[in-house]
Amino acid sequence: MTDETIDTLLKIIYIDPLIEDAVINYTDTKSRWEVVLGDELMHPYIQMIDEEIFSDPPMLTPNGVDEWNAERLGDMSTQLMDKARTHGWAIVQFYTTGREWRVFSEDDRVDWIYTDNEEIIGAKVTLEGTTTPQVCVWGFNQCYLLKWREGDGKKEFAYPDISQALWTAATITRQIRNQLDIMCAKPEFPWVKYGDNVTPNQRTAILNSLDDASITCGIGASENAVMDIKMIPHQSFAELSDAIDQRTKKFAGLTRLPYAFYNGERGTGGLNSADESGIEMQIDRKKQHIFNKIKALIEVLYLERYSITLTEIAMDTNEVEPVENNTTLSPSDVIQDEVEEEIQDE
């Protein structure tokens, strides 16, 4: 390579930690949970909507709100649902001393516990600060199992709410967004062509100077050292923005939630009353679907832990009434109405 080498410099100042290794392993439980915590689509779909469901105590008949608040069952339900929707299943273990409960799932599991007939009845899970796994058996010592969807009885113990299609859509969207973030932070990059007789030391000095160059810091060099420095702007801002928008709509369709739930229009005043009402009704339907998955567990929990028989468990939501569309008359309709009124008057 000669001293007249052409160098193209594109310094990436930020890489999304969720995709910096280029490949995310969907089957890796730690990776799945990290994505739920940090992805702009997965996080609202799993954690935000679960928090909204259990931010207030449900309607319990007879009243069990005191127990709900005393043992933070709202937090327990949120964590339980987060994990079950992410991994397919989760368990909550209650304790008689110390903290009230802990939630475990696939990312905590060390091994399954089987019967003689090879039926799974529990799991050995890791407990922070100890080396011996904790044994949790469903229905024993107030350990309760929640499955999002029943498995196939073979390889899959339970199916999560995050399908392969959702995973793919979210990953592609995040990769596109990461490129856009890089371009916004560094909207152009230098293309450097060295002049004649540039020494290796000069070339190194120029490269080091370009690393520090910014809108507040320039570089100086002789014409002999640098004949031409061009700033090449990125040309794909609009294309990437449109791609993110389309991928977000795809993700919204797969999750059966409105697009406004993900793009921030919800509740910002950008929608009319009819649109806002329809969006809230869609979200409430999804919340109800999620809440129904845990109702049976809450019923058993209250009976065994508090000796309270619940006859009704309902999600506490604000009723959203559909807004009737006002009919707008066209000019021809107005004229027809006026003609009919004149005929009636005559």
pTM above 0.85, yes or no: no
Residue 48 — very low, low, confident or very high, per pLDDT cuts 50/70/90? Answer: very high
3-state SS assignment for residue 58: coil
Question: Where is mean pLDDT largest: 152-166, 189-203, 327-341?
Answer: 152-166
**Residue 112 — very low, low, confident or very high, per pLDDT cuts 50/70/90?**
very high
Which residues, in sequence order, are bridge partners of residue 147?
89
Is there a single domain that holds both residue 59 and residue 125? yes
Question: Same structural domain for residues 192 and 181?
Answer: no
Assess if residue 5 is contained within a domain.
Answer: no
DSSP string, 230-274: EEEE---HHHHHHHHHHHHHHHHHHHT--THHHHS-TTTT-S-HH
Residues 98 and 211 in one domain: no
181 and 219: one domain?
Answer: no
Residues 112 and 242 in one domain: yes
Structure tokens at 122: 């529990």
Range of the domain at 195: 188-233
Residue 326 φ/ψ, nearest 5 degrees: -80, 130
Q: For residue range 127-161, what is the model confidence (pLDDT) as tens digits?
A: 877 888 999 999 999 999 999 999 998 889 999 99
Whether the pLDDT of residue 223 is over 70: the answer is no
pLDDT of 322 reads: 40
Could you give the dihedral angle defined by the CA atoms of residues 215, 219, 220 and 223, in that order, rounded to the nearest 10 degrees? Answer: -90
Q: Assess whether 135 and 180 both reside in one domain.
A: yes
Top-confidence residue, 129 or 35: 35
**How open is the CA angle 326-331-335, to the nearest 5 degrees?**
110
Measuring CA to CA, how many Å separate 75 from each of 47, 233, 306? 11, 48, 18
Do 213 and 253 lie in one domain? The reply is no
* Co-location of 156 and 245 in the same domain: yes
Q: Are residues 259 and 336 in the same domain?
A: yes
Asked if pLDDT for residue 25 goes beyond 70, the answer is no
Q: Which of 177, 208, 233 is the last residue of a domain?
A: 233
Q: Are residues 313 and 215 in the same domain?
A: no
91 or 240, higher pLDDT: 91
pLDDT by residue (tens digit) across 53-82?
Answer: 999 999 999 989 999 999 999 999 999 999
Percent pLDDT > 70 in the chain is 67
Task: Tell me if 7 is assigned to some domain.
Answer: no
Look at residue 335 and tell me whether its pLDDT is greater than 50: no
Contact 320, 277 (CB under 8 A): yes
Number of domains in the chain: 2
Residue 73 and residue 143 in one domain: yes
